[in-house]
Structure 1
Amino acid sequence: MISIFLIILAYLYGSIPFALVIGRLFYKTDVRNYGSGNLGGTNTGRVLGKKAGVLVIILDASKALLVMFLTRYFCSLLSLNEDTPYICALFCVIGHCYPVFANFKGGKAVSTAIGYFIAVNPLGAILALVVFFIVLKISKYVSLSSVLASLSVLVATPFLDISLIGKLATAGIILLLVYRHCENLKRVKQGTESKISWM
């Protein structure tokens, strides 16, 4: 029962739409009405500026990162199943993508997935970031860079020193991220996806 309670809390924490909170609280703006309408750091940056975008990215990344650390602590303290943190992190990411506090229309899991990668394997997170910035430098597409960076982690997942449940949760997070970017990838193929101008 405690594990189920932690999973529910993880989903609810993931559901906090920081882009919406920051936009309304400090800028009196609902970012869902502008740009791509996405509740993520990239759209927040486009609509409200770099400072707001970076803040949202950091807060969204903290979601799965904190969930992993806190649930690991409680699992150790209460002798719970060691796979619980991975399941909680997966539900945290699901909450970010489909938040109960924002009509189940959330972000695309990029920042939250990075926070998860940092908690599970910092070297894997660095690998993903290196791939991300290389692809971004070449293509100027944030969406394509995010997908390819995540897929690089997916390739490495079978070799991670974590449980089978941990590997399945990692794969689930990555596949959800890719799924959330399907429309972006279609626009990349058509040449209509927005490109960055700062790199």
Structure 2
Amino acid sequence: MTITLITLIAALLLSYLTGAIPFGLLFGRMVGKDVRDEGSGNIGATNVNRVLGKKLGILTLLCDVAKGFFPVFVASILLPMGDNWELFVGLCGLAAVLGHMFSIYLGFKGGKGVATALGVFLFFSPWAICIALIIFIAVVGVSGFVSAGSLAAAGMIPFLILMLGGSFSTFFCAAVIAVLIWIKHSSNIARLRRGEEKSWKTKGAQ
């Protein structure tokens, strides 16, 4: 059974709309704060943790991971198997990450996509995620920069997926997501090059 164009478009749209839900902003409004006005101004878990505290930061992280995982999980069940099944499921993951980065609910602005991408990659290759987390922790531990750890882990994920038996279609989608994460971290990269990026040990914006 082949996947029709209408079915694929519907799956991509729903994945995007799910990924676009700004949980960090919603949790902030629950306690009367707009996380975009404080810290780094980002809606992701790192800034939520900084502005709203650890509990809401962890909750935001879990929700952002879930909105990456569930679209691909549901798509893998509902989309009929076929020659391009893995590619189409991967594109749903990409759509979810794009939703987080360019949310329709926020005027096509959003976060940097790391946690949502984590959810997508967790579905495709949990072992790749385990290795990437080790890389993340090592880089953050040595450098002190969460952004550097995120960039290193994101850059390695596509190759880890391929090395651990993932298909080229999955590798392609993971590579596009990794490039988008690097693009969204352009300001962090600029600060790292200038020596102005703040360490995770400080209260400064990341």
Does TM, scored on the shorter chain, surpass 0.5? yes
- Indicate yes or no: 2:183 matched with 1:179: yes
Question: TM-score scaled by structure 1?
Answer: 0.93
Structure 1 runs of 4+ aligned residues shifted over 6 Å read none
Q: Partner of 1:35 in structure 2? A: 39
**Offset at residue 185 of structure 1 (A):** 1.2
Q: 1:79 to 1:123 in 2, by over 3 A?
A: closer
Residue number in structure 1 paired with 2:3? none
Q: Which amino acid aligns with 1:115?
A: G
Gaps of 5+ in 2: 1-5
Post-superposition offset of 1:155? 3.0
Mapping of residues 1-199 of structure 1, within 5 Å: 1-25=6-30, 27-75=31-79, 78-79=80-81, 81-82=84-85, 83-197=87-201
Whole-angstrom distance in 1 between the partners of 2:200 and 2:51: 13
| 1:24 alignment partner AA | R
What percent of counterpart residues are identical? Answer: 35
Task: Judge conservation of contact 1:110–1:146 (CA < 8 Å) in 2.
Answer: yes
| Shift of residue 191, structure 1, vs aligned partner | 1.8
Whether contact under 8 Å (2:90, 2:173) holds in the other structure is yes
- Residues 23 and 63 of structure 2 are in contact (CA less than 8 Å); yes or no, is this contact kept in structure 1? yes
Aligned partner of residue 70 in structure 2, secondary structure: helix
CA distance in 1, matches of 2:135, 2:177: 18
Contact preservation (8 Å) 2:24, 2:45: yes
Q: Is the contact between residue 159 and residue 171 of structure 2 (CA under 8 Å) also seen in structure 1?
A: no
User: What is the rounded CA distance, in whole Å, between the counterparts of 2:164 and 2:10 in structure 1?
Assistant: 27
Whole-angstrom distance in 2 between the partners of 1:146 and 1:152: 10
SS at match of 2:111: coil
**1:156 positional shift:** 2.6
Residue by residue over 1:141-164, the C-alpha shift from the partner in whole angstroms, topping out at 9 and shown as x without a partner, is 111110001112133344353333
Size of the aligned set, in residue pairs, is 195
Q: Which amino acid aligns with 2:147?
A: S
Structure 1, gaps ≥5 residues long: none
- Alignment deviations for residues 141-199 of structure 1 (CA, whole Å, 9 cap, x no partner): 1111100011121333443533332221110111101111111011112121121128x
